[in-house]
């Protein structure tokens, strides 16, 4: 053991290192994420570099003649798309997600599918015993796949085994937080262990030219190191998301050195494991009941994929006190802004009602393009008038009530038509943006320039207090 001070304090969320403990990480602001760890020692399993052995590095030009890296498609097309066309040899992929969301299920299915194409696939489970994995494989009907399965956590053994496995295409490590390198003096799951283990595995992948997938649990309490400390070390970061109460899961690429990020893959968790969902809009709209006030269909984009979702809004009378604003699947701050714009610019009052907004199906929307659909749901609820059930909405709303252009209007319109919608409410094209919008022929376009144009469509109905701007309306809190 070294004589130097052997401990330091590490934030499990961002990996920042401080000499003393703090209740709140000074770097990322997370609470209760800082814990004591033994200091990292040396460069892990790699041999010590002696100064006398250094040599000059070589510089090359940008063009080069190297072919694009070979890829192995897993056969699960939603996964392959997010990866940018399949697994790249020698690359490291981090698959993050909440415990129980389905990471092991997805990887077992992908590994088995790849093994069936004759590729060599090694699956190392540090969390589940062999029998557990076998049981799952049996339930998923994958037992016949020639997958090599092992339950191990000792990283020294694992790396030694992998160094000998030169013909492997894919190695799955489930999960990185259970792996343990004996020369690091801290428990599995700590930042130093997770980092050192990942470093060794990634190095092995690069030298032996197999793809390695590291599973990482995301935790909020900081007890286990968050996979975020690994994001810069790997080539691709995928997050598997979803709501436990819902069947669908979204695989989201947030970093990809070999392809586009912002791609998503959609799956549905069922009795037979994860099924691919080639048409997510149909899934999200499956339970929509037309002709209900307070509902509007948003033509959104998830990455490059158009996805239609229903926005639902409910207004409930507030008996004095501050009205509630509650959102599920959307940003609360943006809801407040839209309410203020509707009130100030269009004279629609919400200051005496509670507002509940829900994105049906459990999807989370971050696009500002949803503003117009949310506004339509709000005005529809306020006027107790259903929106046209065959219409989709998209457009960003500015603070003066103007409707702003959003990206990929054509893709959104095409998806709407594909799902049987016959009208779309969208931003009015500005004179300078003279590019012709090639809308599908079956779709009637309602282009609007200001939010009051939308309100006017509902005007004359019960509670809207005129479409004229209210001069001194105050922002509801």
Instruction: Count Cα neighbours of 178 within 13 Å in the Cβ-side half-sphere.
Output: 17
| 141 forms part of the interface with ligand TYD (CB under 6 A) | no
Q: Which stretch binds ligand TYD (CB under 6 A): 92-100, 198-206, 332-340, 431-439?
A: 92-100
Burial of 96-127, coded b for 16+ CB within 10 Å and e otherwise, reads: bbbeebbbbbbbbbbbbbbbeeebbbbbbbbb
State the Cα–Cα distance between residues 385 and 425, nearest whole angstrom: 16
Residue 21, judged by CB atoms within 10 A of its CB (0-12, 13-18, 19+), counts as exposed
Strand 353-359 to strand 423-427: parallel, antiparallel, or no bridges (unpaired)?
A: unpaired
| 178 forms part of the interface with ligand TYD (CB under 6 A) | no
In sequence order, the β-bridge partners of residue 310 are 297
Q: Identify which of residues 97 and 280 has a Cβ nearer to ligand TYD in the complex.
A: 97
State the Cα–Cα distance between residues 354 and 151, nearest whole angstrom: 53
The binder of 100, among Mg ion, ligand TYD, none, by C-beta within 5 to 8 A per type, is ligand TYD
The binder of 416, among Mg ion, ligand TYD, none, by C-beta within 5 to 8 A per type, is none
Is residue 297 classed as helix, strand or coil in its secondary structure?
A: strand
The binder of 260, among Mg ion, ligand TYD, none, by C-beta within 5 to 8 A per type, is none
- The minimum distance between CB 261 and Mg ion, in angstroms, equals 24
State the Cα–Cα distance between residues 12 and 38, nearest whole angstrom: 14
- The minimum distance between CB 95 and ligand TYD, in angstroms, equals 9
- The minimum distance between CB 375 and ligand TYD, in angstroms, equals 37
| 189 forms part of the interface with ligand TYD (CB under 6 A) | no
Asked if residues 284 and 360 have their Cβ atoms less than 8 Å apart, the reply is yes
Q: Out of 105, 312, 344, 383, which residue is the one contacting ligand TYD (CB under 6 A)?
A: 105
Tell me how many residues contact ligand TYD (CB under 6 A): 15
Which of positions 211-270 make contact with ligand TYD (CB under 6 A)? 269
- The minimum distance between CB 226 and ligand TYD, in angstroms, equals 15
State the Cα–Cα distance between residues 219 and 201, nearest whole angstrom: 22
Q: Identify which of residues 104 and 219 has a Cβ nearer to Mg ion in the complex.
A: 104
CA terminus-to-terminus distance, the chain: 60
Q: Identify which of residues 103 and 334 has a Cβ nearer to ligand TYD in the complex.
A: 103
Phi, psi of 91 (to 5 degrees): -100, 160
Q: Identify which of residues 175 and 387 has a Cβ nearer to Mg ion in the complex.
A: 175
Q: Identify which of residues 150 and 439 has a Cβ nearer to ligand TYD in the complex.
A: 150
Q: Identify which of residues 104 and 353 has a Cβ nearer to ligand TYD in the complex.
A: 104
Q: Out of 34, 101, 121, 155, which residue is the one contacting ligand TYD (CB under 6 A)?
A: 101
Q: Out of 99, 141, 290, 466, which residue is the one contacting ligand TYD (CB under 6 A)?
A: 99
| 97 forms part of the interface with ligand TYD (CB under 6 A) | yes
Residue numbers at the binding site for Mg ion (CB under 5 A): 104
H-helix or E-strand spanning residue 413: helix 409-418
Q: Identify which of residues 104 and 312 has a Cβ nearer to Mg ion in the complex.
A: 104
> What is the Cα 147 distance to its own chain's centre?
29
Q: Identify which of residues 42 and 100 has a Cβ nearer to ligand TYD in the complex.
A: 100
Measured from the Cβ of residue 31, the count of other Cβ atoms closer than 10 Å reads 13
361: tokens are 């199906």
Strand 17-18 to strand 71-72: parallel, antiparallel, or no bridges (unpaired)?
A: unpaired
Strand 236-242 to strand 248-256: parallel, antiparallel, or no bridges (unpaired)?
A: antiparallel
- The minimum distance between CB 138 and ligand TYD, in angstroms, equals 10
H-helix or E-strand spanning residue 208: helix 191-208
**For residue 303, what are the contacts with CB-CB under 8 A and spacing of at least 6?**
252, 253, 260, 261, 262, 263, 264
Q: Identify which of residues 97 and 189 has a Cβ nearer to ligand TYD in the complex.
A: 97
455: tokens are 């309100």
- The minimum distance between CB 195 and Mg ion, in angstroms, equals 21
- The minimum distance between CB 82 and ligand TYD, in angstroms, equals 16
Phi, psi of 94 (to 5 degrees): -105, 125
- The minimum distance between CB 248 and ligand TYD, in angstroms, equals 12
Q: Which stretch binds ligand TYD (CB under 6 A): 35-43, 132-140, 165-173, 446-454?
A: 132-140
Asked if residues 24 and 35 have their Cβ atoms less than 8 Å apart, the reply is no
- The minimum distance between CB 236 and ligand TYD, in angstroms, equals 18
- The minimum distance between CB 121 and ligand TYD, in angstroms, equals 17
Q: Out of 10, 12, 40, 103, which residue is the one contacting ligand TYD (CB under 6 A)?
A: 103
| 136 forms part of the interface with ligand TYD (CB under 6 A) | yes
- The minimum distance between CB 201 and ligand TYD, in angstroms, equals 18
State the Cα–Cα distance between residues 95 and 231, nearest whole angstrom: 10
Q: Which stretch binds ligand TYD (CB under 6 A): 95-103, 193-201, 255-263, 298-306?
A: 95-103
Q: Which residues bind ligand TYD (CB under 6 A)?
A: 97, 99-105, 136, 139-140, 269, 271-273
């Amino acid at each position: 053991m070294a004589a130097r001070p052997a401990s330091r304090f590490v934030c499990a969320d961002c990996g920042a290192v401080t000499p003393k403990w703090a209740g709140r990480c000074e770097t990322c602001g997370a609470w209760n994420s800082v814990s004591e760890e033994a200091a990292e020692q040396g460069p892990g399993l790699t041999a010590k570099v002696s100064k006398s052995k250094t040599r000059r590095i070589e510089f090359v030009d940008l063009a080069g003649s190297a072919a694009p890296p070979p890829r192995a498609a897993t056969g699960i097309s939603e996964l392959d798309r997010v990866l940018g066309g399949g697994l790249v040899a020698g690359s490291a992929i981090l698959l993050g997600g909440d415990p129980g969301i389905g990471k092991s299920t997805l990887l077992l299915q992908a590994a088995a599918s790849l093994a069936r194409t004759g590729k060599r696939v090694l699956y190392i489970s540090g969390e589940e015993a062999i029998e557990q994995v076998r049981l799952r494989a049996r339930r998923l009907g994958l037992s016949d796949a020639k997958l090599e399965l092992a339950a191990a956590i000792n990283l020294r053994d694992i790396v030694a085994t992998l160094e000998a496995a030169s013909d492997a295409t894919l190695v799955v490590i489930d999960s990185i937080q259970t792996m343990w390198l004996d020369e690091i003096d801290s428990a599995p799951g700590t930042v130093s262990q997770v980092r050192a283990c990942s470093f060794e595995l990634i190095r092995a992948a690069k030298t032996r030219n197999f793809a390695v997938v590291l599973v990482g649990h995301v935790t909020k309490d900081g007890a286990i190191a968050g996979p975020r400390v690994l994001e810069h070390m790997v080539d691709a970061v995928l997050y598997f998301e979803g709501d436990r109460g819902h069947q669908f899961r979204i695989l989201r690429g947030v970093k990809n050195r070999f392809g586009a990020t912002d791609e998503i893959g959609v799956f549905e968790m069922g009795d037979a494991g994860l099924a691919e969902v080639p048409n997510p809009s149909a899934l999200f709209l499956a339970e929509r009941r037309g002709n209900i006030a307070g509902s509007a269909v948003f033509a959104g984009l998830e990455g490059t994929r158009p996805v239609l979702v229903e926005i639902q809004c409910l207004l409930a009378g507030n008996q004095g006190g501050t009205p509630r604003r509650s959102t599920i699947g959307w940003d609360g701050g943006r809801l407040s802004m839209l309410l203020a714009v509707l009130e100030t610019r269009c004279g629609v009052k919400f200051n005496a009602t509670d507002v509940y907004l829900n994105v049906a199906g459990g999807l989370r929307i971050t696009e500002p393009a949803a503003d117009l659909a949310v506004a339509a749901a709000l005005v529809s609820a306020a006027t107790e008038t259903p929106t046209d059930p065959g219409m989709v909405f998209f457009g960003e709303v500015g603070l003066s009530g103007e409707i702003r252009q959003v990206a990929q209007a054509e893709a959104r319109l095409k998806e709407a038509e594909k799902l049987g919608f016959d009208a779309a409410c969208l931003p009015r094209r500005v004179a300078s943006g003279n590019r012709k919008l090639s809308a599908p022929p079956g779709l009637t376009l309602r282009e609007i320039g200001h939010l009051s144009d939308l309100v006017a469509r509902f005007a004359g109905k019960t509670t809207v207090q005129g479409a004229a701007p209210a001069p001194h309306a105050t922002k509801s809190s």
